[in-house]
Homo-oligomer: A and B are copies of this chain.
């Protein structure tokens, strides 16, 4: 599970499914025999720490994407492009083999992440994306990601459906996630949420001069509530 980098190099590869899922147990095998060769990973992503689960019919990898900021001439920053949490699905093509070339992506927005982390054990939710929404191709590609609880209530099915009318394709992925795996998603996405919103800048500001001498007024703390 750790060496996802290997999957990026091969379209037909040996995956490492979570054997324990079928048993309702979690098996954590020694990584000693696996991680001997370190890959020389060269993509330009600064972070590469996805949370990945390999299941019978597909794999799902979840990775946060930070927002970008534009620096203003006055020294302030504003969010230019919001962050997201990227869900990547790719299909199994044999026993423990997955084809990363056939991956499909779904970028969860801030509010969609909010829906995910607030799901109760019996709740379900569904999100719809149209990658070409405001272009002439609107409606040609439709993506839907749904999260539905197991009947027994100890996990969720996460599925992605991508209908592409241009390529005449219809890709479906179904990944069951256990309670423990969903708790990882929930906790990690809750952690990531302020970051993809840009609110973690709060912390950084302190380093850059929030502390004021007694006579300076902080321009960031307007009394605007009292102005009206």
Contact = CB atoms under 8 A, between A and B. Distances in A.
Interface of A: 1-2, 5, 18, 20, 25-35, 38-49, 51, 53, 64-83, 86, 104-115, 117-118, 125-135, 141, 143, 162, 164, 178-184, 186-188, 190-195, 197-208, 210-214, 218-221, 223-228
A79 B183 contact: no
Nearest to A3: B80
Contacts of A66: 202, 205-206, 210, 220-221
24 contacts: A25-B127, A27-B128, A28-B108, A29-B133, A29-B134, A30-B131, A33-B134, A34-B134, A42-B73, A47-B199, A66-B202, A68-B212, A69-B210, A69-B212, A71-B213, A80-B212, A105-B227, A111-B180, A111-B181, A114-B180, A188-B199, A191-B199, A200-B202, A204-B206
A200 B206 contact: yes
Given A111-B26, A206-B204, A72 B49 contact: no
Q: A-B pairs with the 5 shortest C-beta distances? A: A49-B198, A115-B180, A118-B183, A114-B183, A48-B78
Contacts of A113: 184
Contact of A130 (B30, B39, B128): B30
B206 A115 contact: no
A72 to B, nearest CB: 5
A193 B106 CA distance: 23
A81 B117 contact: no
